[in-house]
Amino acid sequence: MMISVILIYVVLFLLSVQFLNLQWKSRGFPPGPIPFPIIGSIWWIKFRADHGSLKKLAETYGNICTLWMGHRPVMVLYGFQAVKNGLANNSEDVSGRLQTYVFNKMAQGKGILMSNGLIWKQQRNFGFGTLRKLGMGNKGMERGIQTEAHYLVEFFKEKNGEAVDPSFPIVHAVSNVICAVVFGHRFSLEDKNFRQLMEAYNWIVAFGNSHFYYICEVFQWAAEHLPGSLQKTLLSRDFVRSFVRQEIKSHREKGRTGEPEDFIDFYLDQIEKTKNVPNSTFDEDNMVQAVFDLFLGGSETTATTLRWALLYMLVYPDIQEKVQKELDTVLSPSHVICYEDRKKLPYTYAVIHEILRFSSIILITIPREAVKDTTILGYHIPKGTLIMANIDSTLFDPAYWETPHQFNPGHFLDKDGNFVTREAFLAFSAGHRICPGETMAKMEFFIIFCSLLQKFKFTVPEGVKKINTDFIFGSTMKPHPYKLCAIPRWVTQC
Ligand code: HEM
């Protein structure tokens, strides 16, 4: 009994010391809720960084404020000015990626998405450069996208106007675009290995969206020893890795006679070229992880945006009609859409940007970390501080958008109907970690969206009274499952 009382006093004493220590440490940081030992101040947003809680946080403490995750400070940036300045000024200083227990399990600090330092710099520069070469040099990427757009058109044609959920065919198309870029070939839906690959990625993304993910980050011992989601996620990771290794093996066996044709070809060349360069990080493990990251970064995001795109076309049939009118006026019905066409289709291109803005699929950037002591918006920030930039708040910032909460392609058009870019359009983030797949994503989105709208009128299935445009909260904001009818444009009824 006596021992328990002493223990309680000791714990209370230690917690009080920790509490005072935290208050001391938070001096000099931007304002924020009071931090407590162990839980920090994340309790204030109910342990969930969603639209509502981040808005309330900014309204209470300002556009730059501090949350504490346990004893670790997190700088939260809200609104265009804070996000842009926070990420783009002293950009290199805030280009670190948070290394957590789960991130380490998934990537071991390799590849592009979760790496830091020299590995990140070399892998990112190389990955970015290779995507550019594959996209702009031999037009391979564009051809790959056109092929997938064609299969998607065939899919809807076969449905003959019947109500269908477009999610799976879209995910299949987008994943195949990456396969073409990375492996140099596509997979049919019947391919068992490819289906397993998609299932493995689905599982990894679902795990990242689950509460169990956070539990694993906090209670690492339990995550390590108890059977459950983490173990299945690691098995999925292993499956993806062995899939990629198998592709690398067949590229090696096949050998090459001409120019490199896909990401693996370029990477194998790079390993060869740099094998005697000190500090080179080009090896098979980094190649596998870089491929893993291109899939992870590029498939779910683009597929989700395309799902929103078709949903908005159901909600705004007048906008759908205007896009089709522009397509019909500028292009012949048999024209195969290419990215260059965007220059002749300003309204359509504006609609695509408005879809990217309005669906705002990424709420916050993947957490960043200050790699050295620095200054953000006048505050001194010590090395190791986390940075959480709320991308969504830039896309709806009332100071930069005329009608932020309305779907309005006019946001991207000048008074003469020409397409214009907008500085607050930070859907792909800003600074040194800006999304390297932006051009590829836009190319994919443009070609697939236009190919579908050129051929079909999308309508709501009979009997559906209300279209749900709420999002499902997760690492990307997804629409609820829905069905649509794709009516070949020379037929009028579903
Ligand atoms: C609509 C589509 C897409 C959106 C909205 C999007 C958005 C983003 C955002 C917001 C980030 C985080 C940047 C940061 O930490 O500040 C990111 C990172 C990244 N994205 Fe994308 N992305 C898209 C498509 C793609 C595609 C098609 C690829 C490649 C095939 C890709 C590859 C990556 C990679 C590798 C990173 C990590 C970059 C790094 O850590 O240095 N993304 N993306």
pLDDT digit string, tens, across residues 12-25: 988 898 888 889 88
CB 73 within 8 A of CB 387: no
Residue 97 scores a pLDDT above 90: yes
What is the dotted CATH code of the domain comprising 79-488? 1.10.630.10
User: Ligand 1 centre from 93 Cα, in Å?
Assistant: 19
Q: 434 CA to middle of ligand 1, Å? A: 7
Query: How far is residue 125's CA from residue 41's CA, in Å, rounded to a whole number?
Result: 37
300 lines ligand 1 (CB under 6 A): no
Query: If you write DSSP's letter for every residue of 52-115 in order, what string do you get?
Result: HHHHHHHHHH-SEEEEEETTEEEEEE-SHHHHHHHHHTTGGGG-EE---HHHHHHHTT-TTTS-
Give the span between the Cα atoms of 270 and 276, in whole angstroms: 11
Closest Cα to atom 1, ligand 1: which residue? 302
* Rounded Cα distance, 387 and 91, in Å: 12
End-to-end CA distance of the chain: 76
Q: Whose CA is nearest to atom 7 of ligand 1?
A: 428
Q: What is the mean pLDDT of residues 420-446?
A: 95
Q: pLDDT tier at 494 (50, 70, 90 boundaries)?
A: very low
Whose Cα sits closest to atom 33 in ligand 1? 297
Determine which residue's CA is closest to atom 3 belonging to ligand 1. Answer: 301
Residue 249 Cα to ligand 1 middle (Å): 27
Residues 122 and 282 sit within 8 Å (Cβ to Cβ): yes
163 CB near ligand 1 (under 6 Å): no
By the 10 Å C-beta count (0-12 exposed, 13-18 middle, 19+ buried), 272 is classed as exposed
Mention every residue, 6+ apart, whose C-beta is less than 8 A from residue 123. Answer: 110, 111, 112, 115, 281, 286, 289, 290
pLDDT at position 414 is 97
pLDDT in tens, 215-269: 888 788 878 777 778 899 999 999 999 999 999 999 999 887 778 889 999 999 9
Domain locations in the chain as residue ranges? 79-488
Instruction: Give yes or no for a contact between 241 and 249, defined as CB atoms under 8 angstroms apart.
Output: no
> How far apart (Å, rounded) are the C-alpha atoms in residues 385 and 468?
39
pLDDT tens for 29-39 read: 999 999 998 88
Are 379 and 64 a contacting pair, CB within 8 Å?
A: yes
The mean pLDDT value of the chain amounts to 91
What's the CA gap between 291 and 188, in Å, rounded?
A: 20
Q: How far is the CA of 367 from the centre of ligand 1 (A)?
A: 13
What pLDDT was estimated at residue 490? 57
Query: Which of 435, 430, 368, 422 has its CA nearest to residue 396?
Result: 422
Q: Whose CA is nearest to atom 43 of ligand 1?
A: 435
For residue 440 and ligand 1, the question of a CB distance below 6 A is answered with yes
Structure tokens at 360: 């705002």
pLDDT tens-digit map of 372-414? 999 998 999 999 999 999 999 999 999 999 999 999 999 999 9
- Is the pLDDT confidence value at 435 over 70? yes
Give 213's Cβ-side CA count (13 Å radius): 18
Integer Cα distance of 389 and 366 in angstroms: 9
Contact present, 145 and 448 (Cβ < 8 Å): yes
Atom of ligand 1 nearest to the CA of 362: 10
Distance 312 CA to ligand 1 centre (A): 23
Q: What atom of ligand 1 comes closest to residue 366's alpha carbon? A: 15
Q: Is the pLDDT of residue 456 over 90?
A: yes
Q: In what order do the strands lie in the sheet with 72-77?
A: 64-69, 72-77, 386-389, 368-369, 96-97
pLDDT at 493 exceeding the cut of 50: no
Crossing angle for the helix pair 167-183 and 284-315, nearest 10 degrees? 150
CA 286 to ligand 1 center in whole angstroms: 18
**SS3 (DSSP) at 335:** coil
Ligand 1: does its nearest atom lie under 6 Å from the Cβ of 366? yes
Contact predicate 114/97, CB 8 Å: yes
| C-alpha–C-alpha distance, residues 163 and 157, integer Å | 12
- Give the model confidence (pLDDT) of 298-335 as tens digits: 899 999 999 999 999 999 999 999 999 999 999 998 89
Q: Report pLDDT digits (tens) over 179-205.
A: 999 999 899 888 999 999 999 988 898
